[in-house]
Amino acid sequence: MNKYFLFLLIFIGLISCNPSAHFQKDTQFEQANWVKFNTLKYDIPVEAGKSYSFDGILTTDSAYSKRKMHIGFYLYLPSGEERLEDKTIRILSNEYIPLGEKKGDSYEIKTSFKQNILIKETGNLKLQIVHHSQYLDNFGIKKFQLIVNED
């Protein structure tokens, strides 16, 4: 009986140590096509005195043939501050081999955007993610998942 109680306490302790997402949203793209002008927009509630980290998971299929993806990551904080960053995400190696983790018929590429952003005012943070592709159609991009964790 004591073994089971000890196991339960350890299990609960391990679960409580894993960070849970403050905000998470999946965007599925119709026909696995992230059209160039389809900007992803988010309103995320945040609290003063807390810091947040922003990560993403991009899901592609085998039809995506470009080695890199250029993303604009634009944060507009409740205090009026802006944090703007352009980021390049590597999708395929120089030999055109997928770099992400294979999940069924898809590949998941994890990326970090901004980390430990300290919030000065409570309110809604606005975030825009822009795909800076030179092409209108970008077939092979199935999904983008935004994950915001409270640090």
pLDDT in tens, 41-100: 999 999 999 999 999 999 999 878 899 999 999 999 999 999 999 999 999 999 988 999
Three-state secondary structure call for residue 13? helix
pLDDT band at 21 (very low <50, low <70, confident <90, very high): confident
Helices then strands, each counted (H, E), the chain: 1, 10
- The verdict on pTM exceeding 0.75 is yes
Measured CA to CA in angstroms, residue 16 lies from 9, 12, 13, 51 at distances of: 11, 6, 5, 19
Measured between alpha carbons, how far is 54 from 115 in angstroms, rounded to an integer? 6
**What are the structural domain ranges in the chain?**
22-150
* pLDDT, mean of residues 108-120: 94
Nearest C-alpha neighbor of 130 from the set 74, 56, 64: 74
Whether domain 22-150 has CATH 2.60.120.260? yes
